[in-house]
Amino acid sequence: MSTANAAPKTAMQRFLDGVERVGNMVPHPVVIFLILIAIVIVLSAILSMFGAAVSFERINAETHEIETATTEIRSLLNIDGIRFLYASLIPNFMSFTAVGLMIAAMIGAGVAEESGLVTALIRKLVIVSPPWALTYILAFVGIIASVAADAGYLVLIPLAGIAYLAVGRHPLAGLALGFAAVAGAFTVNMLIKPLDAVLVEFTNDAAHLVDPNRSIGLASNVWFSIASVLFLTIVIAFISDRMIEPRLGAYKPEQSGDGAVSDQSAELSEKESRGLRFALFALIGLIAVFCLLTLPAWAPLRNPETGELIGNSPFMNGLIALIMLIFLVTGWSYGIGAGTMRTLTEVIGAIEKSIKNLGGTIFLFFVLSQFVAYFTYTNMGTVMALSLSGALQAANIGALPLLLGFIVVVAIIDLLLTGAIAKWAIFAPVFVPLLMKLGVEPEAVLAAYRVGDSPMNAITPLNAYFALVVGFAQKYDKSAGVGTIVSLMLPYVAWMFVLWTALFAVWKAMGLPWGL
């Protein structure tokens, strides 16, 4: 198309072009954290030179009496600081347990994804959906597909378009529904996923700045996450049926571009169906084994002293092992049934492939571990949190308004910095200690972060999969572009953000438990 014939850009398209240009100037997350490390080093020396410190009251762990303590900024450029910088490089990384948790989870998830289990399971759920419930089931499956994010983007979204087209509905509405579910609710799930391990670890590191004995577990947000999944399923489905599809109207096949009919059939082959049966049998067997290990009073995975199962018990402390085994056992069983992964050598190959794909993440974690360790060493997080909490307490703002403001800040930043891990590594050391000083539990701060971090993923062009969704849309409408996707996703983003934030506020106000 010539420039003369090109339609002028709308204000929204010009705005998005500007966001994309600014976003493209944002450096790689590793570079961001290297800059932050340099800032922490220089700032620690300056603040230490001026004697920055804060006094506060705390409970003595031995006498249980209230005592006054003082925390000073420690410089990283004096003799002790330089020694720490040099000697702690490897210990910082080795003690960064998020690396081990992520690798353990990906051992199982890699087998499940490589064998085809995740893809087949999503397709099966789409097939068995009755027409009246299709929207709700697709929304639900899209949200829980974040347990294997790539499969959600690459499988669920195009299948949602196929499913809508198959029942005579507009395929772009199906694509929009799938994108809103996969991206807009990415940080919550009915299951514990690898991302949870990293977010929880960062939260604990930040909480230890205030209370070294305060930690949360992998299931610390499980009740709020489950409620959010069910709530957002209804919200996304309602928006799709009442706003998006009526606006699109009836689908006209002549609008489609080349390749409108996907090569990927929604139907399962006999081998795939047999693989799913094998996976189901394996899951039942694994559940039976863990019932023996957890339910009896003498079960080895109960707390040996109190006998409790939920809370401080071997079962909860090693929950990542159960997650790994579920994916590993069911993935391999599916592979045997479907003929995609029969031998142990093939299983090992799938694990190696998934671990290789973590190379960039592991390097990012190496840099992150240094930033967290240096920030902790300087006491900057503690001093900052105590100073801010004192000012906020004097202003009587209240914890809930501050949490709601935090959600808004996270959402705005997510337009330019989409990585959930990178943002939380920056926010956690500041906001977790700050809000803990105001009496807010770290579980609530993490839940607030989940709300703020997700919805904007469906509207920012900086989402790595945004261009992919535009490509999916062009199969059904050759004129579709960035503006098309943004106009489809705006109602989802706006209503999900407002209503989900309201759910969080009600949850907090009622004092409901965030998780286990």
In a domain, 437, yes or no: yes
Rounded distance between C-alpha atoms, residue 497 and residue 515, angstroms: 22
What's the pLDDT score for residue 3? 39
Phi, psi for 217 (deg, rounded to 5): -105, 175
What's the pLDDT score for residue 150? 60
Tally of domains within the chain: 1
> Cα-atom radius of gyration of the chain, to the nearest Å?
25
- Which residue range(s) make up the domain with 332? 99-250+268-510
In a domain, 430, yes or no: yes
In a domain, 64, yes or no: no
Say which residues have a Cβ less than 8 Å from residue 123's Cβ, sequence separation at least 6.
Answer: 155, 159, 266, 268, 272
pLDDT tens digit at each of 516 positions of the chain: 333 444 565 565 566 556 546 655 667 778 878 998 999 999 999 999 998 887 765 545 566 565 677 888 999 999 999 999 999 999 999 887 767 777 887 888 889 888 988 778 777 876 777 777 889 999 998 898 877 656 667 777 887 887 788 778 899 999 999 999 999 998 899 888 778 888 998 899 888 888 888 889 888 999 999 999 999 999 999 999 988 888 888 887 765 655 444 444 557 889 999 999 999 999 999 999 999 999 998 999 998 888 888 666 888 778 778 888 998 999 999 999 999 998 999 999 999 988 887 787 788 889 888 988 898 899 887 777 667 656 655 666 778 888 998 898 888 888 767 778 877 877 888 788 888 888 899 999 999 999 999 999 888 876 767 777 887 888 888 877 777 888 889 889 999 999 999 999 999 999 999 998
What's the pLDDT score for residue 261? 43
3-state secondary structure of 471: helix
Rounded distance between C-alpha atoms, residue 240 and residue 245, angstroms: 6
Name the CA dihedral angle for 121, 124, 129, 131, rounded to a multiple of 10 degrees: 130
In a domain, 147, yes or no: yes
What's the pLDDT score for residue 477? 83
pTM for the full predicted model = 0.70
In a domain, 125, yes or no: yes
Q: Of 383, 375, 438, 381, give the one whose Cα is nearest residue 405.
A: 438
What's the pLDDT score for residue 262? 44
In a domain, 3, yes or no: no
What's the pLDDT score for residue 336? 96
In a domain, 74, yes or no: no
In a domain, 54, yes or no: no
Torsion sign over Cα 132, 138, 141, 143? negative
Q: Which two tokens stand for residue 69?
A: 């303590």
